[in-house]
Amino acid sequence: MDIQNTIQKLREELNLHNYNYYVLDNPTISDYDFDLKLKQLQDLENQYPEYYDESSPTQRVGGTITKNFKTVPHEYRMYSLDNSYSKEDLVEWEKRIQKVLGELPLEYTCELKYDGASISITYENGKLSRAVTRGDGFQGDDVTNNIKTIRSIPLQLKGNYPAKFAVRGEIILPFAGFEKMNQDLIEIGETPYSNPRNTASGSLKLKESAEVAKRPLDCLLYFLIGNELPFNSQYEGLKAARNWGFKVPKEAKLACNLDEVFQFIDYWNVHRHELPYETDGVVVKVDSFHYQDELGFTAKSPRWAMAYKFKSEQVSTKLNSISYQVGRTGAITPVANLSPVQLAGTIVKRASLHNADQIEKLDIRVGDTVFVEKGGEIIPKIIAVDLSKRPENSEPTKYITHCPECHTELVRGEGEANHYCPNFYGCPPQIIGRIQHFISRKAMDIEGLGGETVALLFNNGLVHNYADLYELTVEQILPLERMAQKSAENLVKGVADSKEIPFERVLYALGIRFVGETVAKKLAKHYKSIDALRQATLMDLVLVDEIGERIAKSVIDFFENNENVIIIERLKSYGVQFEVIEKINPNATVKLAGKTFVVSGVFELFSRDDLKKSIEDNGGKVGSSISSKTDYVVAGDNMGPAKLEKANKLNIPILSETEFMKLIS
């Protein structure tokens, strides 16, 4: 008997049965017969380990244990989507697109927006090589071993596929599987899971892949990304992915105009409740990849896609009390404590009341019956009061005047929506919140240190600000509750490792008000060091690209506080990165210094990304849209007519690829 051939034929047969069952929902073999063949293959693979294959169907049963999920960068960033809540929003979106592309007939791919956990899976030579969670969009956790247990995800592709590419999909838990999991828990006296989305997301981070294999997870594919994909549009990509073995929902449709998009939305707004899994809207994408390239991205989202969110589900319940939370910036957030009620798949007990103005506007009072919905299907909020059920002895809500934590009198700046506690360095929730922000994934990403541990360290007097983290010792941490030798060592090591975090993320980690990730990157790129930023005047800062007066004033205020300066000097002394470490590019020049370029069209010599990198490598800046500040447009075939018209109107030189090559040669 040819053992290798027998093993290979069994693998191919089992892969086909998996595909028929989990992707096509059309089984051609009984579960019993499938299990017998799988057992036969497992026995042969154990007997002949020299024929091991990581893509074998036997790998789907799990068996690996992951103690710490490694954080890895995405080769292609995972952007979030802009949301719309009305058809008027989509009409405005199309107008913005036409300003860039001109009055062109546009086709759109319409897909349902699935409510699960986003995943990026890379395939090399047809084999699944790596699966990474969305994370912050720039990097995520490597969950490859767990993803391999999901049977609708192919381990080996079929047909004619590119050598390397990535797929984006949503890991979901269908209603039937979720209900069975909960029923099993109830039968053994355990607490059931709250909703399918969170359960699916949590499953990806289980340490034992065999446990993940037991969960009826599914993966719905919605996008492919890579160099030289063998198709030119989103809809063609979905069709190709089906042929390669991926599970692509059949509900996706190509629309020739917005009216057809609206028909798709109207249909699924009614029929979504018939689906076997959660969906909260429709994603509309410009179909052509060429037009997608022309439109590009904002700092957070693609300009060529929009999520239309279905109207939120509403319920009524009783408001039992109002409590007040203090954020890391001192902002006070009033919170409604509600009688528990089921809403969009979760039990809701609390809802944000936003600020004093919102309470006054809706005249919200303790004891009221209120209407609650999920804003964007995520955060519960009160939208109205049922005045017909208001108690006779009801009293208007009086907003607090002093901090609920440190009892300092609250302040409210002119034009500010929120009240603030000004006790910046003495109010416990502010101190803990700033340290929690400092250690967070998008900031210093300190392994072994979570939000609860920060509170534990503060409450035990071991840290009073984030600089204190760098003086912690294993001996200090060990006596704390739930702290063992290994976890204490991991915490200290995680703090030490954070000294390698680049300056732009350190700047974000400092928690300067209004300085988010994008602003921190711009400031770090412009000033190169914390010392240069500290010396900047208000006027200097305002002149930096996209830095307004509000942000500039906040930066000035931060550095005028002597305690902040002392903390930064301490962090410097521990080795935290406060300068941009320039990567030396041997081919870099300054030939294009001071010049701004806009790239448009399809190119032969370069990919668009290579062209943009070449501009930056030679000291130039790449702009996203044509304006009076644009020095050159580099144009390929099919340049957007609106861009061409604007460039001519502003008398901006238009370069071909060849002319650009001469410019930098």
Q: Burial level of 68, CB count in 10 A (0-12/13-18/19+)?
A: exposed
* Cα 144 to Cα 121: distance, rounded to the nearest angstrom: 8
Q: Where are the alpha helices (DSSP H) in 584-651?
A: 608-617, 641-649
Amino acid at site 664: I
* Cα 323 to Cα 315: distance, rounded to the nearest angstrom: 21
Question: Annotated binding residue at 82?
Answer: no
Amino acid at site 411: V
Cβ 107 vs Cβ 243: under 8 Å: no
Tokens of 408: 């300092």
What Å distances lie between residue 574 and 443, 449, 568, 580, 581, CA to CA?
17, 18, 10, 17, 17
Question: Annotated binding residue at 32?
Answer: yes
* Cα 337 to Cα 150: distance, rounded to the nearest angstrom: 39
- Secondary structure in 3-state letters for 604-615: CCCCHHHHHHHH
> Any bridge partners for residue 540, and if so which?
none
Q: Known catalytic residues?
A: 113
Cβ 285 vs Cβ 118: under 8 Å: no
Question: Annotated binding residue at 151?
Answer: no
Question: Annotated binding residue at 193?
Answer: no
Cβ 108 vs Cβ 255: under 8 Å: yes
DSSP 64-127: -B-SSPPEEE-SS------EE-SHHHHHHHHHHHHHHH-S----EEEEEEE-SEEEEEEEETTE
Closest CA to 110 of 235, 269, 295: 235
Q: Which residues contact 436 (CB under 8 A, 6 or more apart)?
A: 328, 451, 454
Question: Annotated binding residue at 134?
Answer: yes
> Any bridge partners for residue 402, and if so which?
409
Pairing of strands 621-623, 596-600: parallel
- SS3 state of residue 465: coil
Question: Annotated binding residue at 81?
Answer: yes
What Å distances lie between residue 279 and 18, 173, 276, 282, CA to CA?
25, 11, 9, 8
Question: Annotated binding residue at 80?
Answer: yes
Q: Burial level of 654, CB count in 10 A (0-12/13-18/19+)?
A: middle
DSSP 273-333: GGSSS-EEEEEEEESBHHHHHHH-B-SSSBTTEEEEEPPPPEEEEEEEEEEEEE-TTSBEE
* Cα 626 to Cα 493: distance, rounded to the nearest angstrom: 48
Residue with tokens 């409210």: 412
* Cα 354 to Cα 336: distance, rounded to the nearest angstrom: 10
What Å distances lie between residue 278 and 101, 168, 170, CA to CA?
35, 18, 11
Question: Annotated binding residue at 88?
Answer: no
Question: Annotated binding residue at 170?
Answer: yes
- Known binding residues are 31-35, 80-81, 111, 134, 170, 285, 309, 403, 406, 421, 427
- Known binding residues for Zn(2+) are 403, 406, 421, 427
- Known binding residues for NAD(+) are 31-35, 80-81, 111, 134, 170, 285, 309
